[in-house]
Amino acid sequence: MSDAQAQDEHAPEAGHEADYLRADGGLRGWLLTIDHKRIGIMFYGLVLLFLLLGGLFAMILRAELITPEPTLIQADTYNRMFTLHGVIMVWLFMIPSIPNVFGNFLLPLMLGAKDLAFPRLNLASLYVFALGALVTLGGAVAGGADTGWTFYAPYSTTTPTAVVPIVTGIFILGVSSIMTGLNFIVTTHTMRAEGMTWTRVPLFVWAIYATSVIILFATPVLGMSITLVGIDHIYHFGIFDPALGGDPVLFQHIFWFYSHPAVYIMILPAMGVISEVVSTFCQKPPASYMAIFISSLGIAFVGFFTWGHHMFVAGMSTFDAGVFGALSMFVAIFSAIKVFTWVATMYRGSIRFSTPMLYFLFFLFLFVFGGMTGVAVATQSLDVHWHDTYFVVAHFHFIMVGATLTGFLAAAHYWFPKMFGRMYSERMGLLTSAAVFAGFFLTFFPQFLLGNAGMPRRYYAYPERFQWLNALSSGGSFLLGGALLLTLVNLLVALRWGRKATPNPWDSRGFEWETATMPIKHNFAVPPRIQRGPYDYHLTEEEAHARVSPG
């Protein structure tokens, strides 16, 4: 008897109920659904739309920078476009991409729960997110802002551009994030299946949990900072304007108190994906479950005390700079623990080089490379040299965009059969993943060299000696954009014509694969009782399935 046949027999309950896509037909069935899986799918569509929009702005910027002189767009348009690119990519793609899509879809399945703790709150978070996106993009239609995504004061309080609607939109997006994070935390505490002890909780869930804690504590601070900017912009109180008695450095403290932990809001979920992928495609448990679990919580905790390393040139004592630099090194230690654990997991594993595994390797490269440059810029003497140059842009994109994007794409391929019941073209997946990595590296590695040579970031024109590196970077961005489009096409084609997926195509021991592929509306016909861990690869698939029995 094949494993697939065996699992089919183990899941007869799923055969009596339609899968979640077919359970409730019609537009109303989607718009008013409280099924976490459907809500995750709707978030999926939104974040992909915003990825395309943010990516389009990036390619226009790179097209302008092929030559040192102005060509395609005016300077004002350039300033507004890089602001919108940053705002869209940070708040409309990177922060919500993995938690809101894959967290929503998979967290209850992994915990053996019927749904999230607050299904209606979950649906409300979707509409609040959509409202926030509309208000933000409305600000773009109204002329956009030219402040950069960091909204540094006092300029952001005096510029005549449309700052107020954009910061209002971001505030609303923050409310949506808090609703989602609260739901994930309560679900993890209260809705785990019988037998699922804390040490049996999958690492992806731990990553989402740690991310949610950061969201709950840090997002209100962001809301306060941008609200003050909006109020100052309208009423000219001068809260951050030294000409009126205000303090611009105060804004930087408040903004970075949120925005540095926001780095971990983006990257911790990707780390959770990577932990699942490396175990499945090496057919081994993590080298140390506790090391990954503790380091996730450690990053979430220490990340709140490192914001000052963004402000070394804003006026800071040598002692303070040393403390912030040392605390930043602690994040590097926790990150290194994760990297060593993932690499150790591969040792003597039965490695299968499928598309998700390839994205794992690309994630590892970009994360280590970007992380090491992060250690460098957390050192005051080096940071002063690289501050506000393209070096910082390259570091930011390697660690935040590169790691988040490869984690997102690994998840998109790994859980595609579970979400849609179809298999994508593996050959195209491998080809496009290699092209994504090549395009990404060609785009941002030259920017390290540009920054080290002294080219400032956000400049519209530049000296001719920087042209070949800028042209190389622009060429890489076009390759990256084309590769991402082909990736999307590959997955869209698979939705219609892809081979039907078997119940557990990767032979994973993850609990989410114990449900039907695709899952039924209420996930489980009978609540499961967990009698094993999520990475028990010493068990056969039949044995593993037998230990997740109906309660």
> Which structural domains are found in the chain, ordered by start?
39-546 (1.20.210.10)
The whole-number average pLDDT for the span 531-541 is: 92
Condensed to tens digits (0 to 9), the pLDDT of residues 451-483 reads 999 999 989 999 999 999 999 999 999 999 999
Q: Please choose, from the candidates 359, 532, 325, the residue with its C-alpha nearest in 3D space to the C-alpha of residue 431.
A: 359
The pLDDT score that the predictor gives to residue 311 is 85
- Residue 35 in this model has a pLDDT that exceeds 50: yes
- Residue 456 phi/psi, 5-degree rounding, is -70, 155
Sequence-ordered list of residues with C-beta below 8 angstroms from that of 116, at least 6 positions apart, any chain: 36, 104, 107, 108, 122, 183, 184, 187, 191
Buried b (16+ CB within 10 A) or exposed e, 474-488: bbbbebbbebbebbe
Condensed to tens digits (0 to 9), the pLDDT of residues 86-143 reads 999 999 999 999 999 999 999 999 999 999 999 999 999 999 999 999 999 999 899 8
Q: How far is CA 307 from CA 78, 141, 151, 312, 331, in A?
A: 28, 32, 16, 10, 12
- Residue 2 in this model has a pLDDT that exceeds 60: no
Distance CA(238)–CA(157), nearest Å, equals 8
CB 392 within 8 A of CB 374: no
Burial class of residue 232, CB neighbours in 10 A (0-12, 13-18, 19+) = buried
The whole-number average pLDDT for the span 1-30 is: 65
The whole-number average pLDDT for the span 354-370 is: 95
The whole-number average pLDDT for the span 308-320 is: 84
- Residue 291 in this model has a pLDDT that exceeds 90: yes
Distance CA(302)–CA(404), nearest Å, equals 20
Q: Please choose, from the candidates 328, 466, 308, 451, the residue with its C-alpha nearest in 3D space to the C-alpha of residue 389.
A: 451
Residue 530, H or E segment: strand 528-530
The pLDDT score that the predictor gives to residue 380 is 84
CB 105 within 8 A of CB 415: yes
Query: What one-character DSSP code corresponds to residue 150?
Result: T
Sequence-ordered list of residues with C-beta below 8 angstroms from that of 258, at least 6 positions apart, any chain: 218, 219, 221, 222, 225
Q: Is the peptide bond before 59 cis (omega within 30 degrees of 0)?
A: no
Condensed to tens digits (0 to 9), the pLDDT of residues 169-184 reads 999 999 999 999 999 9
Q: What is the separation, in whole angstroms, between the first and last Cα of the chain?
A: 26
How much of the chain, in percent, has pLDDT values that exceed 90?
Answer: 72
Q: Greatest CA span in the chain, whole angstroms?
A: 79
Strand runs labelled E in 3-66:
none
Q: How far is CA 504 from CA 50, 127, 344, 547, in A?
A: 31, 33, 25, 16
Distance CA(519)–CA(504), nearest Å, equals 12
Average pLDDT along the chain: 91
Distance CA(317)–CA(285), nearest Å, equals 46
Q: Is the peptide bond before 119 cis (omega within 30 degrees of 0)?
A: no
pLDDT band of 8, cuts 50, 70, 90? very low
Q: Please choose, from the candidates 96, 101, 95, the residue with its C-alpha nearest in 3D space to the C-alpha of residue 39.
A: 101
Q: Please choose, from the candidates 511, 515, 491, the residue with its C-alpha nearest in 3D space to the C-alpha of residue 503.
A: 515
pLDDT band of 534, cuts 50, 70, 90? very high
